[in-house]
Amino acid sequence: MKRLAGTVLGLLLAQVCCVKGVDVEQSPPALSLQEGDSSTLWCSFSTTVNNNVYWYRQKNGGHLDHLFSIPSGTKRNGRLNATTVAKDRCSSLYISSAQITDSATYFCAGVSAQKLVFGRGTTLKVNLNIKNPDPAVYQLKGPKSNNISVCLYTDFQMNTTKDSEPTVFSLSRTVFNSNTTVLDMGAVGSKSNGLVAWSKSTDFECQSTFQQEFYPNSGISCDAKLVEKSFETDMNLNLQNLSVMGFRIILLKMVGFNLLMTLRLWSS
């Protein structure tokens, strides 16, 4: 009887272990790098993982891109190196010379009970490396209403810390802002950070919105009237378009007349 009870207890423990499966831990949870830096993402397993260890990348909440399937040893894919040490139940992903396009969430996964078990992921943010940042703020106001204003903040250096996500500035609750974007001007070989903020508040001012030191735009106004002028219709261009249309109409009439005369000659 005791032997039967021990057997049943052993089976129950085995079932519990099978249900628990493998735990996947990834570190660090978040990582911020400057463009050109290198770093390593770590992944560990609570038990030995059968078959392969998988690495995936997810950009902007989109689909998962498969990077590596590696049971043990090291594999390379461009600037990415994946290493798995099966006996130590760990794997790593080394990113060399980080680029802006490397910003994403990286997931590590292992197989348990014929299912992929994922870690929580590591969110990587690669910031633009501006050697000589020259931040500037431009304000665009509506011509008919002083309550609507848009601010453009450019050429700033991202602030990064080891223990937190990168922050540029803090905006008030009544202000809306876009995500920070990177403008790559390949023709001149330069890059720039940019962000737009807007509000309907009457006390909205660009200088107080961006809580960081900036340089004014040397007194050059940037209002809606000035911008609208650059989109005014060119009268000379309109005249040329009308001339081209007139020539096309004349050409079509000549072709039609020639076809009509040819048909009359054939019919006669």
Residues 6+ apart with CB under 8 A from 61: none
Tell me, yes or no, whether 187 lies in a domain: yes
Range of the domain at 68: 21-127
DSSP structural state of residue 171: -
Predicted local confidence at residue 15, as pLDDT: 37
Pick out the chain residues at pLDDT < 70. 1-21, 130-133, 141-149, 156-190, 200-237
How do residues 100-133 score in pLDDT, each as one tens digit? 899 999 999 998 878 889 999 999 999 877 666 6
Residue given tokens 């081209």 in the structure block: 244
**Residue ending a domain, choose from 127, 155, 185:** 127
Same domain, 87 and 141: no
pLDDT at 239 (0 to 100)? 77
Among 107, 127, 147, the domain-final residue is 127
CA distance 27 to 216: 42
Rounded Cα distance between 44 and 104, Å, is 20
Q: Are residues 34 and 109 in the same domain?
A: yes
112 shares a domain with 149: no
Asked whether the beta carbons of 81 and 94 are under 8 A apart, the reply is yes
CA 127 from centroid of its chain's CA atoms: 11
Domain check: are 118 and 187 in the same one?
no
For residue 234, the model assigns a pLDDT of: 59
- Compute the radius of gyration of the chain from its Cα atoms: 32
Q: Do 123 and 140 have their domain in common?
A: no
* Closest CA relative to residue 141, chosen from 219, 79, 21, 227: 227
Residue that terminates a domain, selected from 127, 148, 180: 127
Virtual torsion, Cα 155, 160, 165, 170, nearest 10 deg? -50
Q: Which CATH number does the domain housing residue 155 bear?
A: 2.60.40.10
Q: Do residue 83 and residue 166 come from a single domain?
A: no
Residues 150 and 223 in one domain: yes
Same domain, 76 and 160: no
- CA 63/CA 126 separation, integer angstroms: 20
Per-residue model confidence (pLDDT) at position 225: 39
The count of structural domains within the chain is 2
Q: Is residue 140 part of a domain?
A: yes
